Amino acid sequence: MTAPQDPARLDRIREKLTLLRRLEAEHGFGVVIGEPSPLEPIPDLPGVAEVYGLFGRLAGDNFRFDPPEEIRSPAAWAARTVDEDDPMGSPLAVGHEVHSIPPRLRGEIGAGAPIRLDTEDLDVYWMEPDDYVFQYEHPDEDVEFTVVAPDVATFFDEHVLGPGYPELVAVVLGPGVRDQRLRKGRHAGEYADNWRRLLIAADLAS
């Protein structure tokens, strides 16, 4: 297993982002791929700030990934609010779905339900919002959640920028959303998700 801050994986993410920026500039899929803005590493979260420092924002039709405010600096991490009553241990939101937000409202409503990072074991996981609320109300009950990746670097390399992206869509939004295709226009028959179309153009996913 590679370490969360494995330089080879970080280099691979950096190379993929460079390729995707170029393809987006050439073809105009309509995604956002921010420029790198290095962040100071946080010892408690190995590899997390290092990954987010490779881009300012990633956004497509279904997801949006911004560097969490809590990791903007070690001081910000130390000052973060920890909810002692959170049965999931005050996880860090590492990204959000935006599929549930009408496109015309995305300037006002920045994000939908979060994809979370367990700050103890560094797993990236998805839990339905209703299940999260249920866990608060019934902390002794078991709830379902899906571990997507063992760390943030693997999550971005394989599930945001790689072949695991379609499965991420299926886990978070459902297989129906994953398989949606455009019915008309010059891209009729192609996947409706512009991020997936970009990854396919880059030969990073199918």
- How many Å apart are CA 10 and CA 55, to the nearest integer? 12
- Give the least confident one: 13-27, 76-90, 111-125, 188-202: 76-90
Q: Residue range 91-117: average pLDDT?
A: 87
Question: What three-state secondary structure class fits 35?
Answer: coil
Q: Indicate the Cα dihedral angle 15, 17, 18, 24, nearest 10°.
A: 150
Strand partners, 118: none
Entry pTM? 0.93
**What are the structure tokens assigned to 160, written together?**
């945001």
Q: Residue range 14-38: average pLDDT?
A: 96
Residue closest to 150 by CA, chosen among 114, 113, 115, 121? 121
DSSP sequence for 28-56: ----EEPPP------TTSTTHHHHHTT-S
The residues, ordered by sequence, that sit 6+ positions from 128 with a Cβ below 8 Å of its Cβ are 113, 144
- The yes-or-no verdict on residue 1 having pLDDT over 60 is no
- How many Å apart are CA 197 and CA 63, to the nearest integer? 14
Tens of pLDDT along 38-62? 999 999 999 999 999 999 899 999 9
